[in-house]
Amino acid sequence: MPDIRQLWDEFCALRFLIVGVWNTLFSYIVFAVLYHFFGGGWRDVPVQVISAVVGITNAYVCHRVVTFRSQGSWWQEYIRFYVVYGLQALLQMFAFFIFSTWLKYNGYIVQFVLTIVFSLASYWAHKTYSFRRVVCHG
């Protein structure tokens, strides 16, 4: 019978999912708090930028430690991680602007849906680019 540690090592995708759920909740809460106190009109951009930086940094630390267990250069991986999530964040900010400002959808709902949609593709990007030198089973 395999021990729990061996099973955990074999299921990189499951670890990614668990960390992803945590990061989605964490990032959304950071966004919601900032949006509540500072959002509206032109102030949506700084709220998006600050919440993206905090969320990306949290995600990097969690994925580095829990998902991929990387021992590589943290600085190089952090930059690659930012390329993936930074591009995602820019696209997400643009979509947020379109849906919340032009189309007048609720900002909280828009951010929630966009976070889910953009998170679906990030596993592959991080596995093949951000942490590409890390062997991740499962």
Please answer whether residues 8 and 66 qualify as being in contact, where contact means their C-beta atoms are separated by less than 8 angstroms: no
Report pLDDT for 138.
46
Going residue by residue through the chain (138 aa), what tens digit of pLDDT does each one get? Answer: 556 666 656 677 788 889 988 998 999 899 999 999 998 777 888 998 899 899 989 999 998 998 888 888 899 989 988 888 888 888 988 999 999 999 999 999 998 898 778 877 777 777 777 776 665 644
Residues in contact with 127: Cβ distance below 8 Å, sequence separation at least 6, in sequence order: 12, 16, 68, 136
Query: Which residues, in sequence order, are CB contacts of 97 under 8 Å at separation 6+?
Result: 44
Sequence spans of domains, the chain: 4-130
Largest CA distance in the chain: 58
The region, left, alpha or beta by phi > 0 then psi within -120 to 50, assigned to residue 30 is alpha
Quote the pTM value: 0.71
Compute the distance between CA of residue 125 and CA of residue 136 in angstroms, rounded to an integer: 13
